[in-house]
Amino acid sequence: MSHGPSRIPSKGKCIYCGDAGVELTDEHFLPFSLGGRHIIEKASCLRCADITKKFEQDVAREMWGDARISYNAPSRRKRSRPTHIKLHDPERPGRTVKVPYSDYPAAMIFYKMQKAGILIGSPENLDISGEWQFTAVCDDEKANGFESKYGMKLTVKFRHVPNSFGRLLAKIGYGQVLWTLGLDDFRPLCLPYILGARSNISYIVGGAFDIPPPTPGVGYNLRTVVVGDGARILLIALLRLYANLHTPVYHVVVGDVLGESSVRSVIAKLESVDVGIGAIGSIEAEGSHWLPNVWPLP
């Protein structure tokens, strides 16, 4: 689901490292492989594009590889895709079955996460991503058909890449906030994590363990919410990928704004845009999974 324009103009420098005067490439802030159509023009230098491409590919291949083929997700290299998958029967060792991808209800792996560490009030060096649990998301109808047609239980193959997954969410959240705000409007707390200078992604990325009902026909949901007071606000991106399936809702603490006049001007900018991308939410309206446990933060 997308609202508003599908591209916004360049910020004049790399949105990740701040380099100006270098070659800049367009940034699909929601990856093309996820159906993203939003582009920030000339937004990433080649060095930063290499970094972000790496964790995006990691997730697309290791967590969603088979699912992306079986649901015919967008890809830049569709023609080189395999047509069949070879599956091992988990209950009869030695038996393998070749199944066309169109019949294979491959599951996508997502992590269920607790709240981001910064919102819990944890120290930055406390990595809580070890408590993330994975959940397999698939099309139930297709899955039932598969078991009766091929006489075997469905299996999922994936590799655990929590850090790449968290960085992908952080990147999407950052792009979401930049859709409405300028680079100078806030301190981008998420940047060192996206670029890999800091490794504890669970400090700024989190979610809720409860999975809301799917929203039929909706590809993804993105919103910006704000929490804080007149002296400091946090900019938080809420996101749900494949909202039409049983996927978790995530939050990314993208950055903060300090000082009364800056806080006022940023809130004014966020209120002036359309609902959807850049919508500002109120604490009462939004539920609580992303609210800080303590305020001010330690």
* Residues near Zn ion, by CB under 5 A: 14, 16-17, 19, 45, 48
CB atoms within 10 A of CB 250: 27
Report in angstroms how near the CB of residue 26 gets to Zn ion at its nearest.
14
Structure tokens at 125: 């060096």
Contact predicate 115/297, CB 8 Å: no
Q: Of all helices (H) and strands (E), which one includes residue 148?
A: helix 140-150
Contact predicate 283/227, CB 8 Å: yes
Rounded Cα–Cα distance for residues 206 and 198 (Å): 16
CB atoms within 10 A of CB 231: 12
Structure tokens at 150: 């091929």
CB atoms within 10 A of CB 9: 10
